[in-house]
Structure 1
Amino acid sequence: MVSANKRRLTSVQIIVFFYIGLILFSSILLYTPLFLQPGVQVSYIDSLFTAASAISVTGLTVLSIHEVYNEAGILYLTLLFQVGGIGIMTLGTFFWLLMGQKIGLEQRIWIATDHNRSTLSGLVSLMRTILVLAILIELIGTLLLAMLFLVNGYESNWLDALYYGFFASVSAFTNAGFDLYGNSLQGFAHDYLVQLIVMLLIICGAIGFPVLVELRTYFAYRRAKMRFTFSLFTKVTTVTFFSLVGLGALLFFLFERDALLQQMSWHEGLFYSLFHSVTSRSGGLTTLDVGLFSTPTLVMLAGMMFIGASPSSVGGGIRTTTFFVIIATVFAHMRGFKDVKVFGRELVDEDIMRSFLVFFVAVFLIFTSAMLIVWLEDLPFHQVLFEVCSAFGTTGLSAGITAEMGPAGKLTLILLMVIGRVGIINLLLFLKRHDQVVRYHHPKERIMIGQ
């Protein structure tokens, strides 16, 4: 007979089931006429895809949401962006506190799991800080974008400007990648101020909540004239994040300068390159038709989306710290070091092993999914690879083939979006049954590796 302790769900399984349950519930709501434009009908698989994309803050769509959903449906989608981006436990903590409920040990474990935290201390205060920062950033983004929409003639009155500005701000900060114009941000291709605000919102969401919290603490220390030292996590995350943005912009410009950017001025080429490098972190918004990109650009952006955003952020992928640890480990071994030292600190062996584990599982998922879709859908491999990396990285950039896929292809992308949202480590913990007790060891023997 199975004991009660063994039947009990782990915190990871509870969080994953929360997200899956919300996706299924939302797919039913988005399928009903309550949220649809008059006379519009959609298939359930498309409603499921939209719900999964919204909650995983991916942005891949098989529908034109401004033509399919009414204002209630669009506002519900923005709520899903918040749940998926900020985290279901952050909002859950807010409602628990609002109702005067005590946050117990079990709830703290759920919060730690949802936000990839290794300690239970200070979690409630952290969730409150994250929520306040998110609301403040989205509010500032809403006001700035609304003002630009109105002043530059995109909208004719303040009410519409605020409506579109609010949706654009939430979509950008949570890296959801949805838009209400039907062509992403292509209508703002020459409005550099709108692009700059959107890029800053994407960066704030993708760089990671711990970085934002530490930055807030840093300015508080500065005002008090106290010394503050950033954590290793913040240093690694910031250096890797902005290095990838710079590298992506440079490669985009080099690959497209004799093609898509050939007839454009230097400042147009600069903003196109920079914007699409930033959005490939996890943003999903675009100022150009992705279908026009050259194959090298698509492959490069697929790699950027595969890496994704930072841990404990709104984005997906293997995460920037995973990429950094792998690169640092390889270079350390190339130089003959057995230990990996960065920024005056030494990396823990367990973190190194977890990084390679995440990378291997992610590569396996990406290529297995790509091969499956190519086999089932008979689509070009480089476009499928781009779409698969976009789903796994919860980015939302599309080469325009998602809507052409059948149910099997869409379900594959849905699975990747969910995995990208919960993370590889949580996926493995979700599948793990229980820790094995090792009572004996076999003799060890070396084998040849790599040559």
Structure 2
Amino acid sequence: MKKFTSAFMTPFRMIIFSYIVSMLIFSVLLWLPVSHNPGVELGYLDSLFTSVSAVSVTGLTVINVPETLSYTGVFFLALAMQVGGIGIMSLGTFVWMLLGRKINLSQRLLIMVDQNQYQFSGMVKLMRNILLLALAIEAVGAFILGTYYIQYFDSIGQAYYQGAFGALTAFTNAGFDVTGQSLIPFADDYYVQLIVVLLIFAGAIGFPVLMEVREYLSSNNKDFRFSLFTKVTVTTYFLVFIIGVIGILLLEANVYYQGMAWHQQVSSAIFHSASSRSAGLSTMDVSAYSLPTLLFVSSLMIIGASPSSVGGGLRTTTLAVMFLTIRSFALGKEEVKVFGRQVHPEDKQKAFIVLSFFLVGVFAAVLCISALEQNNTNVELIDIIFEVSSAFGTCGLTTGITDDLSRPSQLVLMLLMFVGRVGILAFLLSVKRKETKSYYKYPTERMIIG
């Protein structure tokens, strides 16, 4: 029995099982009466949806957080966001270290899978550094926002409470808020928006990138070289961000932004281009955007953040490798080269597998929810496309239909949020059958493609 369990529970399945257990635990904690405000009742399915959204750091919700959850409930919600954002194995490693336990090979393998790494060496040190760096960024963000919020709130305690939660939800790209209005109250406060955008960048750019930047700044080594991953990730992330800003500005110039001052237009476009990649925070009612903009923002949510970050989606490196491969094919080159390096053939294959699965998943989910909600007059097709993109990209932006959807449709969204958080490759590898050695080969024959 033990051998069967050991063979069945591969590292990928163990990671997925850990996330499922975490979601169930937090769903129960959020369901407890102590987690609710006096006189408020919360059904288990609503608490389950909230838990899945928090652990997957998405932000879609069927409840109003400050009206529904007590301070205890908000603490459980924040803890779920932290677990989902930093990663179960990062926090698990920290607990093991506090208990003085030695991290064995199987646990190092789980860490490697959870963080999309390719080597065992330095895993424990990496987890420790990631956790300390993440907590330090959140603490600095909480202090800056909390201190600034004193002018907005009645007490210092409330200001730092809002600041701490705001820093956590921005860095983890979770999208939840305890204002009840996201960041709409700060639509004209560019300082708050700047701090939040910087926290979103820090969380979504990827932990390996942060660690390399930290090493570069603290090292006196003049020969230090950034990895290909960091170069491609940073370039792609900010290129898509800039395209997002320009796209939103052009599409809304004569619609929602008409009559607004230029600096209001630019600040709104910058914030929502950054937030739509995975964060899910907003300084306006997103449903006020025009149809083309909603489709454009949906594409940004689908692209998502970087690998080994708090965000989900297709991921920046997937997009980069895909376009670089197409470019090389168009130029008649077999190898994919960038920044003086050659992309591994296996990475090209993974990129197209992820892209194909993602597109099929989005289409299937839109079709399924459309069929389930065809008699729901409060839901339109663009709302469903936007909601599905938000869930699969673990973003959290919504046109406001989440609570109007039927339970089966909400279950579809929960599945999308779950797969979006654990990662498509991890999900596919968890169901992959064990490879068997082939003792013979079939003749090769060409196929007509395209």
TM-score range, shorter chain: over 0.9
Name 2:182's counterpart in structure 1: 184
Q: Does the 8 Å CA contact 2:29/2:76 hold for their aligned counterparts?
A: no
Compared with structure 1, are the counterparts of its residues 306 and 265 closer, same or farther at alpha carbon in structure 2 (3 Å cutoff)? same
Q: CA deviation at 1:318?
A: 1.2
Q: CA deviation at 1:31?
A: 1.3
Name 2:420's counterpart in structure 1: 420
Name 2:260's counterpart in structure 1: 264
Name 2:200's counterpart in structure 1: 202
Corresponding letter in the other structure for 2:200:
I
**Distance in 2 between the 1:30 and 1:131 partners?**
25
**Distance in 2 between the 1:158 and 1:427 partners?**
44
Corresponding letter in the other structure for 1:41:
E
Compared with structure 1, are the counterparts of its residues 7 and 336 closer, same or farther at alpha carbon in structure 2 (3 Å cutoff)? closer
The structure 1 residue matched to 2:287, chosen from 261, 285, 291, is 291
**Distance in 2 between the 1:21 and 1:76 partners?**
15
What aligned pairs does 1:394-413 form with structure 2 within 5 A after superposition? 394-413=394-413
Corresponding letter in the other structure for 1:181:
T
CA deviation map 1:71-130 (0-9, x unaligned): 011011111111000001111111100010101101101111111111110011101110
Indicate the RMSD between aligned Cα atoms, in angstroms.
Answer: 1.2
What aligned pairs does 1:77-156 form with structure 2 within 5 A after superposition? 77-150=77-150, 153-156=151-154
What aligned pairs does 1:34-45 form with structure 2 within 5 A after superposition? 34-45=34-45
Corresponding letter in the other structure for 1:281:
R
Q: CA deviation at 1:226?
A: 2.6
Q: CA deviation at 1:383?
A: 1.4
What aligned pairs does 1:1-400 form with structure 2 within 5 A after superposition? 4=4, 7-150=7-150, 153-221=151-219, 224=220, 226-378=222-374, 379-400=379-400
Corresponding letter in the other structure for 1:98:
L
**Distance in 2 between the 1:226 and 1:250 partners?**
37
Corresponding letter in the other structure for 1:58:
T
**Distance in 2 between the 1:113 and 1:448 partners?**
37
Describe the SS at the equivalent of 1:281. Answer: coil
Describe the SS at the equivalent of 2:276. Answer: helix
Q: Does the 8 Å CA contact 2:30/2:77 hold for their aligned counterparts?
A: no
**Distance in 2 between the 1:441 and 1:23 partners?**
45
Corresponding letter in the other structure for 1:66:
P
Name 2:431's counterpart in structure 1: 431
**Distance in 2 between the 1:37 and 1:270 partners?**
39
Runs of 4+ in structure 1 over 6 Å off: none
Q: CA deviation at 1:44?
A: 1.6
**Distance in 1 between the 2:221 and 2:395 partners?**
40
**Distance in 2 between the 1:319 and 1:439 partners?**
37
Compared with structure 1, are the counterparts of its residues 2 and 14 closer, same or farther at alpha carbon in structure 2 (3 Å cutoff)? closer
TM, length-normalised to structure 1: 0.97
Q: CA deviation at 1:273?
A: 0.3
CA deviation map 1:163-213 (0-9, x unaligned): 110000000000000011111101000000000000000000000000000
**Distance in 1 between the 2:356 and 2:6 partners?**
29
**Distance in 2 between the 1:328 and 1:109 partners?**
31
Q: CA deviation at 1:3?
A: 5.9
CA deviation map 1:215-234 (0-9, x unaligned): 0000112xx25331100000
Describe the SS at the equivalent of 2:396. Answer: coil
Describe the SS at the equivalent of 2:277. Answer: helix
TM, length-normalised to structure 2: 0.97
Corresponding letter in the other structure for 1:50:
T
Q: CA deviation at 1:157?
A: 2.1
Q: CA deviation at 1:29?
A: 1.7
Number of equivalenced pairs = 446
Corresponding letter in the other structure for 1:135:
L
**Distance in 1 between the 2:135 and 2:364 partners?**
39
Q: Does the 8 Å CA contact 2:142/2:166 hold for their aligned counterparts?
A: yes
